[in-house]
């Protein structure tokens, strides 16, 4: 088992609200990461097809708004359906280059009817198989106007080289019990997916690393006003209301000692490549191991329901 491995952090902007073109861009960055000898490449929250920035710019809470209905319908159309094979190309390139992928998506979930959007991070292994779809357990603030709440099904970890890999979406990373659910499964390489904001990653990345004595990747997206395509509904209005920069990045990497290995990168597309060493995890666990020798399961325990939730239970 290799003690050291290279990880890739793809800080990119989507082709906003265009599933196909954004997936093409994702595939190109997977190839770049493979060329750089990365064993894992990560992408930001909701990258395919993009974060719903229009909600905050167009009175998204107005009830029975024909504009909000049209924008929502367009968003659902551009969301990914795993069952219909929308990620097949991503899986194929992961398999070809033997590289693991964590990708932030908007998912229209067939097991929930296919009409609602979930902020879902997808984990693809080196054989190109989708091994986990974690739906964000609680969308944040205005996100609740377009995203449905997820469940605990995706609170899972996976072996990655010598490491144990886990991931959470955006403000889920603030939730101590969600983090603890992964710590208890042996996580020591954590990926935090964000739409793009240095203010979110600059403190929390180092805190989670220090708390868990793990490597922590924060991977962010980008979006500028000039990235808004002309062919989406109400493009001119959204551009008029949008600030010059909506997502400014902030991708970074902290080590198990809580120190930055890569400081937050702002306003720049890049594939960040860094080497991580499992032995450093073991060194830092010597004096503190949150799920191991420093825990007291006889006093406090966490119960997690990992069943996929649905309104329908068929008995044929």
pLDDT at residue 1 tops 90: no
Cα 269 from Cα 222, distance rounded (Å): 8
Question: Which alpha helices (H) appear in the chain, and where do they start and end?
Answer: 19-35, 54-57, 66-78, 88-97, 176-183, 198-212, 235-241, 278-284
pLDDT at residue 106 tops 80: yes
Helices (H) and strands (E) in the chain, counts: 8, 13
pLDDT at residue 127 tops 90: yes
Residue-wise pLDDT tens digits, 261-285? 999 999 999 999 999 999 999 999 9
For residue 250, give both structure tokens: 């902030």
Going by C-alpha positions, the residue among 225, 231, 226, 215 that lies closest to residue 274 is 215
Residue-wise pLDDT tens digits, 200-250? 999 999 999 999 999 999 999 999 999 999 999 999 999 999 999 999 999
pLDDT exceeding 70 applies to what percent of the chain? 100
Residues 6+ apart with CB under 8 A from 9: 41, 42, 217, 219, 251, 252, 253, 262, 271, 272, 273, 274
What is the DSSP pairing of strand 163-169 with strand 189-194?
Answer: parallel
Are 75 and 106 contacting, i.e. CB atoms less than 8 angstroms apart? yes
Are 232 and 17 contacting, i.e. CB atoms less than 8 angstroms apart? yes
Cα 129 from Cα 123, distance rounded (Å): 8
The CA–CA distances, whole Å, from 256 to 51, 107, 212, 279, 292 equal: 30, 32, 7, 10, 15
* Cβ-based neighbour number of residue 220 at 10 Å: 33
pLDDT at residue number 2: 84
What structural domains and CATH numbers belong to the chain?
4-284 (3.60.110.10)
Residue-wise pLDDT tens digits, 136-182? 999 999 999 999 999 999 999 999 999 999 999 999 999 999 999 99
pLDDT at residue number 131: 98
Mean pLDDT score, 75-85: 98
Are 170 and 200 contacting, i.e. CB atoms less than 8 angstroms apart? yes
SS3 content of the chain, % helix, strand, coil (to 5): 30, 30, 40
Residue-wise pLDDT tens digits, 289-310? 999 999 999 999 999 999 999 9
Q: How many residues does the structure list for the chain?
A: 316
pTM for this entry: 0.97
Residue-wise pLDDT tens digits, 43-57? 999 999 999 999 999
pLDDT at residue 8 tops 90: yes
Are 5 and 39 contacting, i.e. CB atoms less than 8 angstroms apart? yes
């Amino acid at each position: 088992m290799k003690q050291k491995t290279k990880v890739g952090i793809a800080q990119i902007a989507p082709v906003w609200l265009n599933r196909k073109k954004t997936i093409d861009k994702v595939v190109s960055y997977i190839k770049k990461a493979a060329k750089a000898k990365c064993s894992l490449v990560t992408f930001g929250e909701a990258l395919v097809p993009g974060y719903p920035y229009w909600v905050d710019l167009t009175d998204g809470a107005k009830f029975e708004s024909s504009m909000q209905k049209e924008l929502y319908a367009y968003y659902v159309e551009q969301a990914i359906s795993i069952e219909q094979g929308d990620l097949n190309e991503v899986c194929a390139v992961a398999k070809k280059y033997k590289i693991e992928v964590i990708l932030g998506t908007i998912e229209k979930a067939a097991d929930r009817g296919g009409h609602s959007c979930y902020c879902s991070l997808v984990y693809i292994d080196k054989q190109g198989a989708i091994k986990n779809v974690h739906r964000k357990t609680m969308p944040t603030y205005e996100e609740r106007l377009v995203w449905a709440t997820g469940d605990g099904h995706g609170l899972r970890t996976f072996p990655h080289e010598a490491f144990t890999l886990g991931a959470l979406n955006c403000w889920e990373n603030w939730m101590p019990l969600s983090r603890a659910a992964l710590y208890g499964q042996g996580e020591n390489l954590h990926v935090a997916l964000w739409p793009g904001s240095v203010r979110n990653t600059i403190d929390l990345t180092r805190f989670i690393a220090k708390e868990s004595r793990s490597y922590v990747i924060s991977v962010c997206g980008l979006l500028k006003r000039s990235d808004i395509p002309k062919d989406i509904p109400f493009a001119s209005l959204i551009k008029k209301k949008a600030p010059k920069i909506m997502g400014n990045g902030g991708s970074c990497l902290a080590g198990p000692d809580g120190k930055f290995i890569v400081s937050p990168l702002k306003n720049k597309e890049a594939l960040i490549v860094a080497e991580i060493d499992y032995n450093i995890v073991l060194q830092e666990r010597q004096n503190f191991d949150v799920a191991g020798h420093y825990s007291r399961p006889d006093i406090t325990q966490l119960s997690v329901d990992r069943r996929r939730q649905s309104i329908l239970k068929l008995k044929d």
